[in-house]
A and B are shown apart, each in its own frame.
Chain A
Amino acid sequence: MAESDNIVVETAEKIFADLADPQTINNDKKASWQAPLWQALSEAGLPLSWVPEDLGGSGASLADGFALLNAAGRFAVAVPLAETMLAGWLLAQAKIASPEGEMTVLPASPKDRISVDADGALTGRCRGVPFAKSAKHFAVLAHGKNGVSIALVDASKARTESGLNVGYDHSDTVTLDKVQPVTIKAAPDGVDQTNLMLMGGVARSLQIAGALESMLDISVRYSNERVAFEKKISKFQAVQHNLARLAGESAAALAAATSAADAIANAGSFDDEVYLEAAAAKIRCAEAAEKGGGIAHQVHGAIGFTIEHILHRYSLRALAWRDDFGSESYWAVELGKLVARRGADELWPLVASR
């Protein structure tokens, strides 16, 4: 997806290369790289890619934003870029302007629900919210008597309990107890919690695919350098076949994620075909994170298990991303139900719809 003619991706890759080099930031125990990186991304307008200019964003296309997320995955970027993009996208659906600074979305799991009462106050508890701790604002999708609402909430009004995911990034529990939002508006038709989860799931799929591309890259490179039994380990057939499988997992993840992104970017609505694309991407990418990441570690041996080595920045984050916006188990059950509801003879027409 890294098209050289994509100016958004080019800009992002240059910033990542300058300010988020994996080895450099891995050596930096105080995370002093985070603020300059966020500042550079913000100055380039990237966190608000999906927000139209009249709502405070840079108005990039869905397709360009998705390509940007894939690039962010290739650098295993650990700032709330995807989260702020999703938050901006959600707010823009209700024509709510995005403020400056880090944001994240609530809920971040299909199981959690936020309700809105008659006064417009928000109540609910959301687990596993990525980067809630560093967010200045939350973009919230809430359910009330009049249907679905979208709200902008000042993060300081919520209670946030810190947590870390398996990749050492913030994954927090946010509790809203009759919180008055900064702004709240009715969601337009076609924007609901399921579709927010599908968007989030595709974002995570692209990030996982990017991380796998990098894992393949550094694993191939390492196998061509590391000598054992008097030859490069890349010359052992067992190692070659493992790396071929990693290439397959990486390719499958990339194909599934970019196909889903393309489907959303070109679809008028979240119909069954888009649902299949997005759910399948999350399922397939999560499976690839496990299988592919496992091979990358196997190729690296003990060195890849050390905190000094950059491999874990990709492998653990890819595993962590599986959990956000619905795990692969969740989506598999939902996709299975959809397929069963449509019936056996409608399975192939669904699969062959594009």
Chain B
Amino acid sequence: MTAALRFDPIRLPEKCEQLRKEVRAFLAEEIAAGTFDPHKPNREDTDVPEFSRKVGAKGWLGMTWPKKYGGQERSFLERYVVTEEMRVANAPTRRFFVADRQSGPVLLKYAPEHIKMDILPRICRGEICFAIGMSEPNSGSDLFAAKTRATKTDGGYLINGTKIWTSSAHIADYMIAIFRTSPPTKENRRHGLTQFLVKMKQPGIKVNPIGQITGQYEFNEVVFTDFFVPDDHVLGEVDGAWKQATSELAYERSGPERFLETYYVLTELVRAVGPNPDTRSAEGIGRLVAQLHTMRRMSVSVAGMLQAGKEPVVEASIVKDIGTVWEQQLPHRVRDLAAFVEETATNRETLERQLDFAIKTAPKLTIQGGTTEVLRGIIARGLGLR
């Protein structure tokens, strides 16, 4: 076979099911206490610091990390369960999600020991928020065209330039960003970029909010003017960020957040059609559930590969490609099926409000975190076409 794509049927171990019960009980308590409303994915107050600290206190942040950095040394499958339960409940994870999924693992791998000891335990306690500084005004999918400069100076670097579409930069305590330390070479246009840890909320950084078509202000423009970053904040090899980027992608691209972003409209549709749906609604729901189930099984399978120490980059890209296309179509299919829902359905207003938001959210899903086009390029490379 040209492409030995494997998605072995992983079954979650018993301890995951115990954990799932704990997470559900915790979320039910928080909902009852009014910390968040599971029916409102478009909540204005997406930053809920006390919720982050409670999740941290439960030991559900940095779960897979070494204990000496505040982690729990638990498995990726356990982390998976926590992530999917939070996502399905529409819990306010914004403040900790990026740090837990992405920034923490980068620091674990590339940061000097004293920085790990300083920052990782604070992530685990849910105290700090991270942003990712990748895109620039003229560099989006073409990551290696980044121009924001890091110029060597005494004891560190001076940063000048602009990052854009940076989610949560307005609340973030830190950013992990790539800056240009050298020009690209003729042989390797990816050469010359370096990964840095940046402490936010300092002079020399200006964060300008950017409005989104959903009406929210989640992403930002971040302008650096002679901003100083000390030497020990370099993450990994100078000029060699391109070598470090790829292995993280499997973590970033295969999680439950890649097909559950609009899941809530499916739940509300099922509620609206009631226990005896007509044939049209039943078939529509059945097909959507079949897709959902398949993607989750694929996603769990990738989590199992990660747990086994593999780097399933192609499989993860397939999960994100199929998953994001599906979650993008989901609100439109639900809208089709909801067209004949009785006027008297008790949750009609909730469904309509959710659809309004999900339909506006949909376009970003196949863009953020690696566009469909980029993903298909990676899959094609895995197939031996490039």
Q: Which residues of A contact B375 (CB under 8 A)?
A: 244
A251 touching B318, Cβ below 8 Å: yes
Q: Does A223 sit within 8 A of B, measured CB to CB?
A: yes
Q: Does B279 sit within 8 A of A, measured CB to CB?
A: yes
A240 touching B7, Cβ below 8 Å: no
Q: Does B136 sit within 8 A of A, measured CB to CB?
A: no
Q: Does B34 sit within 8 A of A, measured CB to CB?
A: no
Q: Which residues of B contact A281 (CB under 8 A)?
A: 294
Q: Does A262 sit within 8 A of B, measured CB to CB?
A: yes
A262 touching B277, Cβ below 8 Å: no
Q: Which residues of B contact A237 (CB under 8 A)?
A: 377
Q: Does A258 sit within 8 A of B, measured CB to CB?
A: yes
A244 touching B383, Cβ below 8 Å: yes
Interface string of B258-287 (1 = CB under 8 A from A): 000001001110110111110101111111
B7 touching A258, Cβ below 8 Å: yes
Q: Which residues of B contact A221 (CB under 8 A)?
A: 2
Q: Does B1 sit within 8 A of A, measured CB to CB?
A: yes
Q: Which residues of B contact A245 (CB under 8 A)?
A: 321, 376
A258 to B294, CA, bound (A): 10
Do A262 and B11 form a contact, CB below 8 Å, given A240-B385, A332-B282, A340-B285? Answer: yes
Give the 10 A-B residue pairs with the shortest CB-CB distance, closest first. A336-B282, A332-B286, A336-B286, A344-B271, A335-B286, A255-B7, A240-B380, A283-B290, A244-B376, A244-B379
Q: Which residues of A contact B3 (CB under 8 A)?
A: 216-217, 220, 247
User: Could you write out 10 A-B pairs with CB less than 8 Å apart?
Assistant: A224-B384, A239-B385, A240-B376, A240-B380, A247-B382, A248-B318, A251-B318, A255-B9, A332-B284, A334-B286
A259 touching B315, Cβ below 8 Å: no
Q: Does A324 sit within 8 A of B, measured CB to CB?
A: no
A343 to B268, CA, bound (A): 10
A213 to B2, CA, bound (A): 9
Known contacts A256-B297, A259-B297, then 6 further A-B pairs from the complex at CB < 8 Å, ordered by chain A residue: A254-B5, A283-B290, A332-B285, A352-B84, A352-B88, A354-B12
A284 to B290, CA, bound (A): 6
Q: For chain B residues 1-35, which have a beta carbon within 8 Å of chain A?
A: 1-3, 5, 7-9, 11-12, 20
Q: Which residues of B contact A227 (CB under 8 A)?
A: none
B315 touching A251, Cβ below 8 Å: yes
Q: For chain B residues 279-319, which have a beta carbon within 8 Å of chain A?
A: 279, 281-287, 289-298, 300-301, 315, 318
B277 touching A248, Cβ below 8 Å: no
Q: Which residues of B contact A235 (CB under 8 A)?
A: 385-386
A277 touching B293, Cβ below 8 Å: yes
Contact of B8 among A244, A250, A258, A348 (CB under 8 A): A258
A256 to B281, CA, bound (A): 23
A348 to B23, CA, bound (A): 14
Spell out B's residues near A (CB within 8 Å).
1-3, 5, 7-9, 11-12, 20, 84-85, 88, 263, 266-268, 270-271, 273-277, 279, 281-287, 289-298, 300-301, 315, 318, 321-322, 373, 375-377, 379-380, 382-386
Interface string of A127-146 (1 = CB under 8 A from B): 00000000000000000000
Q: Which residues of A contact B88 (CB under 8 A)?
A: 348, 352
A339 touching B7, Cβ below 8 Å: no
Task: Specify which of A255, A259, A283 lies most central, judged by the most chain B CB atoms within 10 Å of its CB.
Answer: A255
B385 touching A276, Cβ below 8 Å: no
Q: Does A241 sit within 8 A of B, measured CB to CB?
A: yes
Q: Which residues of A contact B11 (CB under 8 A)?
A: 262, 266, 354
Q: Which residues of B contact A284 (CB under 8 A)?
A: 290-291, 293-294
Q: Does A90 sit within 8 A of B, measured CB to CB?
A: no
A331 touching B385, Cβ below 8 Å: no
Chain A contact surface mostly: helix
Task: With both chains docked as a complex, state the minimum distance between the C-beta of B272 and any C-beta of chain A, in angstroms.
Answer: 8
A194 to B8, CA, bound (A): 26
Q: Which residues of A contact B289 (CB under 8 A)?
A: 276, 280, 335-336, 339, 347, 351
Contact of B290 among A240, A262, A263, A280 (CB under 8 A): A280
A339 touching B270, Cβ below 8 Å: yes
Question: B270: nearest residue on chain A (CB-CB)?
Answer: A344
Q: Does A6 sit within 8 A of B, measured CB to CB?
A: no
Do A244 and B283 form a contact, CB below 8 Å, given A224-B385, A344-B268? Answer: no
A241 to B267, CA, bound (A): 32
Contact of B286 among A240, A244, A283, A343 (CB under 8 A): A283
B298 touching A252, Cβ below 8 Å: yes
A223 touching B385, Cβ below 8 Å: yes
Task: With both chains docked as a complex, state the minimum distance between the C-beta of A259 and any C-beta of chain B, in angstroms.
Answer: 4
Chain B contact surface mostly: helix
Q: Does A5 sit within 8 A of B, measured CB to CB?
A: no
Question: B322: nearest residue on chain A (CB-CB)?
Answer: A248
A261 to B9, CA, bound (A): 9
Q: Which residues of A contact B9 (CB under 8 A)?
A: 255, 258-259, 261-263
Q: For chain A residues 170-189, which have a beta carbon within 8 Å of chain B?
A: none
Question: A346: nearest residue on chain B (CB-CB)?
Answer: B270
Question: B1: nearest residue on chain A (CB-CB)?
Answer: A217
B267 touching A344, Cβ below 8 Å: yes
A279 touching B290, Cβ below 8 Å: yes
Question: A249: nearest residue on chain B (CB-CB)?
Answer: B322
A255 touching B297, Cβ below 8 Å: yes
B386 touching A240, Cβ below 8 Å: yes
B285 touching A339, Cβ below 8 Å: yes
Question: A266: nearest residue on chain B (CB-CB)?
Answer: B11
Q: Which residues of A contact B384 (CB under 8 A)?
A: 220, 224
B376 touching A241, Cβ below 8 Å: yes
Q: Which residues of A contact B266 (CB under 8 A)?
A: 347
Q: Which residues of A contact B298 (CB under 8 A)?
A: 251-252, 255
B8 touching A241, Cβ below 8 Å: no
Question: B337: nearest residue on chain A (CB-CB)?
Answer: A336
A266 to B377, CA, bound (A): 37
Contact of A348 among B5, B267, B279, B281 (CB under 8 A): B267
A246 to B3, CA, bound (A): 11
B293 touching A280, Cβ below 8 Å: yes
Contact of B379 among A248, A328, A341, A347 (CB under 8 A): A248
A228 to B263, CA, bound (A): 43
Task: Specify which of A213, A254, A333 lies most central, judged by the most chain B CB atoms within 10 Å of its CB.
Answer: A333
Q: Which residues of A contact B379 (CB under 8 A)?
A: 244, 247-248
Q: Which residues of B contact A259 (CB under 8 A)?
A: 9, 294, 297
B292 touching A351, Cβ below 8 Å: yes
Task: With both chains docked as a complex, state the minimum distance between the C-beta of A39 and any C-beta of chain B, in angstroms.
Answer: 28
Q: Which residues of B contact A244 (CB under 8 A)?
A: 321, 375-377, 379-380, 383
Do A351 and B293 form a contact, CB below 8 Å, given A241-B380, A262-B11, A283-B286? Answer: yes
A331 to B285, CA, bound (A): 11
Question: B381: nearest residue on chain A (CB-CB)?
Answer: A240
B287 touching A332, Cβ below 8 Å: yes
Task: With both chains docked as a complex, state the minimum distance between the C-beta of A187 and any C-beta of chain B, in angstroms.
Answer: 27
